[in-house]
Amino acid sequence: MRIAIAGATGRIGSQLAALARKEGHDVVEIARETGFDLLAPTGLEEALAGVDAVVDVTAAPLEVAGEFFPAVARNLGSAAAAAGVPRTVVLSIVGVDRSPDYDYYVAKLAQEQTYRAVAPGVVVLRATQFHDFAGQMLEWNTHDGVARIIDVPTQPVDTAEIASLLLDLATGAVVDDVELAGPQEERLLDQVRTLVERSGSGVRVEAVAGPASMAAGSMLPGPDALLRGPRWEDWLASQG
């Protein structure tokens, strides 16, 4: 199969591209680094000629997410339709429909809705937080030796499982929308404390209030979610 990956140079995209190639597929890499700015695309329809599935794993910072996600969905989704691509796979987040108090999730929900309006054969994978999300939160929220972290429940998942399921959706081995989570619920605050203890950095971790929806569990998977991959602590131990 020929699979176009928007965001192919990113965390998920690079894993997905490597996996797809390993399994014998042709990959079209779409990112600014490979010459495609999805906010102002040129030559996109031509690049999608003969493509069997488009997968969107692009990302943008919170500050611009509200404009970025629907705009990329409109541009890429309509180019896929014009090029006759039969299937569009979108990576979203568990809880985007339950967190109207968090702008990034509002933007991701708008991304899903835009794809469903303009793109062909849309299937959505909603995943929980990546296993390395706690590390990112620690990095982003540490200033002057203090990490201020929202105290919310999460059920993180290994990114390898996300890449694998995205490929199954792209090939048609899985045909329906799906939720994916890891096997065990955690608290983000405790994960960050574990990381700080392991590093011996001496950073002080303080709890801060997050969006009320998230504190109430909006990021946790529903009863029909697939639970796959290692627990966060086992994954962490495997990272050395």
Output the residue with the shortest Cβ distance to ligand NAP: 10
Cβ 73 to ligand NAP, closest distance in Å?
11
Q: Give the range of 26-34, 80-88, 190-198, 213-221 binding ligand NAP by CB under 6 A.
A: 26-34
d(CA 184, CA 4): 32
Query: Does residue 32 bind ligand NAP (CB under 6 A)?
Result: yes
Q: Which is nearer to ligand NAP, 4 or 147 (CB)?
A: 4
Kindly identify the residues of this chain, within the stretch 164-193, that bind ligand NAP according to CB under 6 A. none
Q: Which residues, including other chains, have CB under 8 Å from residue 147's CB and lie 6 or more apart?
A: 137, 138, 141, 192, 196, 203, 204, 205, 206
Query: Does residue 55 bind ligand NAP (CB under 6 A)?
Result: no
- Residue keyed to tokens 């309006």: 117
> Can you read off the two tokens belonging to residue 196?
């700080």
Query: Does residue 13 bind ligand NAP (CB under 6 A)?
Result: yes
- Residue keyed to tokens 């574990």: 194
Q: Give the range of 8-16, 45-53, 206-214, 225-233 binding ligand NAP by CB under 6 A.
A: 8-16
- Residue 122: φ, ψ to 5°: -80, 130
Contact between 36 and 70 under an 8 Å Cβ cutoff? The reply is no
> Can you read off the two tokens belonging to residue 154?
């999460």
**Footprint of ligand NAP on this chain (CB under 6 A)?**
7-13, 31-33, 36-39, 57-60, 91, 93, 108, 127, 129-130, 133
